[in-house]
Structure 1
Amino acid sequence: MNKRLFLYVVALCLMTINASIVFGGAYSIQNIQVQNNGASSSVAKDAALKDARKQAFQAMVQKLVDKKDMDRFENTDDQTVEFLIDSMQIMNEQMGPQSYKAMVSFEFNKQRIEEFFRNKSVQFVVPVHKSIVVLPLLSDGAKTYLFEKENIWMDLWRGHSFNQALMTFVVPNGDLNDMQLLDAEDALIGASEKIAAVAARYQVSAVVVPYVSISIQGRKINVQVDFQEYDAKGIKKNNMIRSHNLTEVAAEVSKQDLLKKLLKISIENIQDFVKAQFGGNQNHNLVYLKVPTKTSDEYCAYIKVLNESGMAQEIQPVELSRNYSVLRVKTLYTLEDLLKFFKERGYNFEISQDVANPYAYEAKPKG
Structure 2
Amino acid sequence: MPSRLSRPFQLLIAATCVASGGLLLAQDASAPVPASSGAIGDGSGSYEVGGIRVDVSAGNAEAARYAGWRLAQRKGWQMLAQRLGASVGSVSDGTLDSMVSGIIIEKEEIGPNRYIGRLGVLFSRARAGALLGVADQEQRSTSMLTIPIAYSGGAAIAFEQDNPWVQAWGRFRTGNSAIDYVRPSGTGSDSLLLNLGQTTRPGRAWWRTVLDQYGSNDVLVPIVRLSRQWPGGPIIGAFQARHGPDNHLITHFTLRVGNADALPLLLDEGVKRIDAAYQAELRSGGLQPDSSLAYVPPVNATPTPTPTPTETPTDLPVVPGTAPITIAPGDTATVTITVQVDTPGAAAVTATEASLRSLAGVRSAVTTSLALGGVSVMRVAFDADPALFRAELEAKGWTVSGSGTTVRIRRAGATDGTPG
TM (norm. structure 2) is 0.41
Bigger relative CO (Cα 8 Å, ≥ 6 apart)? 1
